Amino acid sequence: MSLRLGDIAPDFKAQTTQGEITFHEWLGNSWGMLFSHPADFTPVCTTELGRTALLKGEFEKRNVKVIAVSVDDLESHGRWVPDINEVNNTVVNFPIIADGDRAVATLYDMIHPNASEKTTVRSVFVIGPDKKIKLTLTYPASTGRNFNELLRVIDSLQLTANHQVATPADWQNGDDVIVVPAVTTEEALARFPELNIVKPYLRYTPQPGK
Ligand code: BEZ
């Protein structure tokens, strides 16, 4: 069965371009983003890994450790990384898992045989400091992911975790947010003095921390 939100992200040991890791230990108390790539030396993946490297500061600001997985071996990753660096004018600064035996891809259900028998789809798992899965996304191999959207979702997840607020449709960082239903209006008024009660169940407040 596939992994669901709220499940513990399965732990594993793997070889990566930055040495052997045990996933949970490597995550420590950070948030994590594990994302798969169909294969080395493929065009869309080359742009995605470069974009991720260029966003290093944005992930660090959010205390998110990023790790990629591709079903090729370390030797292949080692030959591919210089291309990623050259094409994107960056330096890949996060580990790429060598998953030649597809152990991680299988554990995380990243191979969808009716799409491709041999390579992964583009999966994303955002994992909280409690090791629980907070977000899953699945894109086809032919569509590169929107990394601004990934950062936006992480911002939303962290606001919920830290402030008990949710984010409305098309929310962007800095827009007003919504107090989650679990907070009573009495408590919401005490915690969020600028509360705007549009409906008893729809209560906006300026984004905490802005
Ligand atoms: C890729 O770049 O990974 C890719 C592009 C089109 C189809 C399949 C894979």
- Whether 6 is in a domain gets the answer no
Any atom of ligand 1 within 6 Å of the Cβ of 38:
yes
How does residue 79 score in pLDDT terms, banded at 50, 70 and 90? very high
pLDDT at 108 > cutoff 80: yes
Any atom of ligand 1 within 6 Å of the Cβ of 140:
no
Same domain as 98, residue 68? yes
Nearest to 30 by CA among 7, 61, 54: 61
Same domain as 177, residue 125? no
**Which SS3 state, helix, strand or coil, does residue 196 take?**
strand
Any atom of ligand 1 within 6 Å of the Cβ of 45:
yes
In the numeric block, the tokens 């995605």 are attached to 48
φ, ψ (nearest 5 deg) of residue 139: -115, 155
Tokens found for residue 92 = 């890949």
The more confidently predicted of residues 79 and 210 is 79
Average pLDDT of the chain is: 97
In terms of residue numbers, what domain contains 87?
A: 13-144
pLDDT for residue 89:
98
Same domain as 79, residue 23? yes
Same domain as 136, residue 108? yes
Estimate to the nearest angstrom the gap between the alpha carbon of 3 and the chain centroid.
15
Distance 116 CA to ligand 1 centre (A): 11
**CATH number, domain at 199?**
3.30.1020.10
- Whether 149 is in a domain gets the answer no
Distance 44 CA to ligand 1 centre (A): 6
Mean pLDDT for the stretch of residues 95-118: 96
Same domain as 171, residue 138? no
Same domain as 105, residue 35? yes
Task: Name every residue whose Cβ is closer than 8 Å to that of residue 138 and which is 6 or more positions away in sequence.
Answer: 112, 121, 122, 123, 124
Same domain as 97, residue 136? yes
Mean pLDDT for the stretch of residues 52-78: 98
pLDDT at 122 > cutoff 80: yes
Q: Which of 33, 34, 45, 98 is catalytic?
A: 45
Any atom of ligand 1 within 6 Å of the Cβ of 47:
no
- Whether 18 is in a domain gets the answer yes
Single out the residue in 96, 114, 144 at which a domain terminates. Answer: 144
pLDDT for residue 149:
98
pLDDT for residue 62:
98
Which residue CA neighbors atom 5 of ligand 1 most closely? 142
Same domain as 26, residue 89? yes
Mean pLDDT for the stretch of residues 55-78: 98
Tokens found for residue 167 = 């984010």
How does residue 86 score in pLDDT terms, banded at 50, 70 and 90? very high
Per-residue model confidence as pLDDT tens digits over 156-202? 999 999 999 999 999 999 999 999 999 999 999 999 999 999 999 99
- Whether 35 is in a domain gets the answer yes
Mean pLDDT for the stretch of residues 57-62: 98
Per-residue model confidence as pLDDT tens digits over 140-160? 999 999 999 999 999 999 999
Same domain as 110, residue 195? no
Domains of the chain: total: 2
pLDDT for residue 1:
67
**CATH number, domain at 79?**
3.40.30.10
Same domain as 66, residue 139? yes
Same domain as 71, residue 40? yes
Q: Is 90 a catalytic residue?
A: no
- Whether 150 is in a domain gets the answer no
- Whether 23 is in a domain gets the answer yes
Strands, E assignment, the chain: 13-16, 19-22, 31-37, 64-70, 96-98, 122-127, 133-139, 165-166, 177-179, 196-199, 202-205
- Whether 31 is in a domain gets the answer yes
Same domain as 168, residue 120? no
pLDDT for residue 70:
96
- Whether 185 is in a domain gets the answer yes
